[in-house]
Amino acid sequence: MPRIAYVDGAYVPLAEAAVPIEDRGFQFADGIYEVAASLNGRLFDWPAHAARLRRNLAELSIAEPMGPKALELVGRTLVRKNGAAQALLYIQVTRGNARRDHPFPAAARPTLVMTARPFDYAPRLRQQATGIKVLTQPEQRWGRCDLKTTGLLANVLAKQAARQAGAFEAWMIEPDGTVTEGASTNAWIVQPDGTLVTHPADRKILPGIMRDTLMRLARGAGMKIEERPFDLAEAERAAEAFITSTSAPCLGVVAIDGRPIGGGTPGPVSRRLGALLWDEIERQTGYRPAG
Ligand SMILES: Cc1ncc(COP(=O)(O)O)c(C=O)c1O
């Protein structure tokens, strides 16, 4: 089945989908995006994704191209047109197409683009069992990492360095050793007493939707959570470490820069949290990966 994209009001073959080269998304990375999982045609945690997208647009004074209900309808229609039972829905909104000049254009209309990429979560279950490796990288991003902007060059470079080193994810390290988050995931450690620790949702990290959902489930299961900065030395001493994101719900970290974490295998806390998340994913969407 040929893949279909949505570009500014039209469903078009992905290979022909295009925006003008003066679009500010291309010229300045002047835009934001959102990624939600569509499982069995249902968008997991959609209200939270729609709220984050709305907040991002408001923070950057980009007009909303359509309301959350219409956005959901277009997203679901696009997934259906792509015939994908399991997909990642990418929504991108830029400030629009205008003559290249830094200040906001007076009359530009925001550009709305969506794609639906078939996505198989089964490999994630295998990674959940084996764990993943992390490579540390210097934090080189800007001062508003809470905004999900398309300006991802520092994240791209960090992820590439990780993959070249045989690691799945890069952790961003500030000059004082603080671990902020991953290149495309939130970072967590587990203290020996079982307390979960993750960076506070301030301007230094993206407030991940999976981070929030995991927090809610963990609290519901009676676990203690500390939202505070932790540094690399503390991570290396931790009982466990793990990452969360929409496309990698909860994966145990078994090594950082080649040094084993905990027992060098995914620990019981991250495995339990992974199980809680899959239960929640199944509760909302009816989907559970085979494996
Ligand atoms: C920098 C960064 N942090 C965290 C996340 C996790 O966010 P979510 O749980 O909403 O997928 C992402 C997701 O792409 C990200 O890019």
- pLDDT per position as a tens digit, 189-241: 999 999 999 999 999 999 999 999 999 999 999 999 999 999 999 999 999 99
3-state class percentages of the chain: helix first, strand second, coil last, to nearest 5: 30, 30, 40
- Residues 148, 77 share a domain: no
Residue 108 has pLDDT above 90, yes or no: no
Q: In this structure, are 222 and 265 located in the same domain?
A: yes
CATH code (residue 160): 3.20.10.10
Q: What DSSP character marks residue 248?
A: S
Q: Single out the residue in 97, 119, 141 at which a domain terminates.
A: 119
pLDDT of residue 254: 98
- What's the structural domain count of the chain? 2
Residue 230 domain-assigned?
Answer: yes
- pLDDT at site 14: 97
Is residue 1 over pLDDT 90? no
User: Residue 106: its pLDDT value, please?
Assistant: 92
Over residues 257-286, the mean pLDDT reads 96
d(CA 35, CA 39): 13
Ligand 1 close to Cβ of residue 186 (< 6 A): yes
Q: Are residues 169 and 221 in the same domain?
A: yes
CA of 101 to the centre of ligand 1 (A): 30
Out of 205, 245, 247, mutate this one to test ligand 1's pocket (max ligand atoms within 8 Å of CB): namely 245
Give 51-85 pLDDT, tens digit per residue.
999 999 999 999 999 999 999 999 999 999 999 99
Domain boundary among 103, 119, 135: 119
Asked if residue 2 has pLDDT above 90, the reply is no
CATH of the domain at 16: 3.30.470.10
- Pair type for strands 225-227 and 196-198: parallel
| Cα 212 to ligand 1 centre (Å) | 11
* Amino acid 170: pLDDT: 99
Residues 113 and 128 in one domain: no
Q: Whole-structure pTM over 0.95, yes or no?
A: yes
**Residue 44 · residue 36 · CB < 8 Å:** yes
My answer on whether 144 and 250 are in the same domain is yes
Q: Is residue 234 part of a domain?
A: yes
Instruction: Among 68, 102, 119, identify where a domain stops.
Output: 119
Q: Are residues 54 and 175 in the same domain?
A: no
Residue 207 maps to a domain:
yes
> Which burial class, exposed, middle or buried, applies to 221 when counting CB atoms under 10 A from its CB (0-12, 13-18, 19+)?
exposed
Strands (E), the chain: 4-7, 10-13, 31-39, 42-43, 86-94, 111-118, 132-138, 169-173, 178-182, 186-190, 196-198, 225-227, 230-231, 240-244, 251-256, 259-260
Domain span at 60: 4-119
Same domain, 55 and 183: no
Position 202 scores a pLDDT of 98
**Per-residue model confidence (pLDDT) at position 290:** 82
Pairing of strands 240-244, 111-118: unpaired
Beta carbon of 97 within 6 Å of any ligand 1 atom = no
Cβ atoms 44, 65 nearer than 8 A? no
- Measured CA to CA, the distance from residue 202 to residue 279 in angstroms comes to 29
- Looking at residue 280, its amino acid is E
Query: Does ligand 1 lie within 6 Å of residue 149's CB atom?
Result: no
Q: Compute the average pLDDT of residues 89-108.
A: 96
Same structural domain, 268 and 141: yes
Active site residue 148: yes
Inter-residue contact 75 to 57 (CB < 8 Å):
no
The reply to whether 268 and 147 lie within a common domain is yes
What residue ranges in 31-121 does DSSP mark as E strands?
31-39, 42-43, 86-94, 111-118
Structure token digits, residue 70:
């219409």
Place of tokens 């902020």: 180
